[in-house]
Amino acid sequence: MTQRPGSGRSDHHLRNVLVWWVVLSVLAEIGWLVAGPLLMPAAASSDAVFANTTIVVFTALAIPVALFVWVFMAYSLIRFRVKSRPSEAGPHLVASNGQQIAWLGITGALCLFLVIWGLFGMYQASTDPPGRPLIVDVTAQQWTWTFRYPSAGVSSNQLVLPVGRPVEFEVTSLDVVHGFDVHAFSVRLDANPGSVIATNIVTPTRLGSFSVRCVELCGLYHAYMWAPVKVVSDQDFAAWLRDAAQGSRGGAGA
């Protein structure tokens, strides 16, 4: 592979395009770092905060790469465009080994960074926070959710959780595959018939109302398979469990 020595004119094009690339990248990065975090969804657990950070960081990394290609293409299309069928060939210009190795090396290094970041995230999500987690059994069936608190003998159609306490969901299904997902916690696991599988342990960090959604197509009323999530204070949670336990016992007698 050979490359003709670049003429002075070509150097001037190269300088222009690199200047455009740097300027646009800096502007886009500033814009993204200001606007990006505002676009992110509400995060109500540390895992969700980390997921949002990941999205912001990956995008920030991708911006200069994407712009490199876009700016080169746009510059070429504007400056080297001919208006009608070209009457002569362009220069016989092929990649030097150095250019190819640099391209492969840089894209490879970026990929490696993403992998390491991801492995770190996986490690972080799988390390259990201190303290005994609250266990909630999640049972999906067409097309409702049931949440059981085995420690209190309570079942409910809404998911009520105390703030700041680690919780582990044990997820199963009675019929087909459903997808258990609390978007605000960034916790998600398929509900599989015949197996009970535990999610990562997550800790709700914000009081408020969220929702469980089903994210696997599970038949006719898939779109209706939502359940409310309430993150409440410890006292409110204890009070709710007490009430619910009485309700359950009464319900069981009926």
Q: In angstroms, what is the minimal distance from the CB of 177 to other proteins?
A: 5
Answer for which of 159, 201, 214, 241 binds Cu ion (CB under 5 A) is: 214
| CB-based contacts of 184, cutoff 8 Å, min separation 6 | 41, 42, 43, 44, 45, 48, 206, 210, 229
Q: Which is nearer to Cu ion, 190 or 236 (CB)?
A: 190
Residue with structure tokens 């609390």?
182
Q: Which is nearer to other proteins, 196 or 238 (CB)?
A: 196
CB of 147 to other proteins, least distance (A): 18
Please, are residues 163 and 232 in contact by the beta-carbon 8 Å criterion? yes
Choose which of 71, 218, 229, 232 interacts with Cu ion (CB under 5 A): 218
DSSP 32: H
Q: Mask: binding to Cu ion, 223-252, rule CB under 5 A, as x and -? A: --x---------------------------
Task: Output 218 or 232, the one with its CB closest to Cu ion.
Answer: 218
Burial of 31 (0-12, 13-18, 19+ CB in 10 A): exposed
In order, the DSSP letters of 34-69 are HHHHHHSPP--BHHHHHHHHHHHHHHHHHHHHHHHH
If you compute the radius of gyration of the chain from its CA atoms, what whole number of angstroms results?
Answer: 27
- Closer to other proteins by Cβ: residue 195 or 246: 195
| Window 99 to 138, contacts with Cu ion (CB under 5 A) | none
Selection from 105, 167, 100, 110 nearest residue 135 by Cα: 167
Side chain identity, residue 92: H
**Residue 213 in contact with Cu ion, rule: CB under 5 A:** no
Piece of the chain touching Cu ion by CB under 5 A; list 81-89, 98-106, 195-203, 220-228: 220-228
Report the nearest approach of other proteins to the CB of residue 234 (Å). 27
Considering only the stretches 44-52, 123-131, 211-219, 231-239, report the one whose residues sit in contact with Cu ion under the rule CB under 5 A. Answer: 211-219
Binding site for Cu ion (CB under 5 A): 178, 214, 218, 225
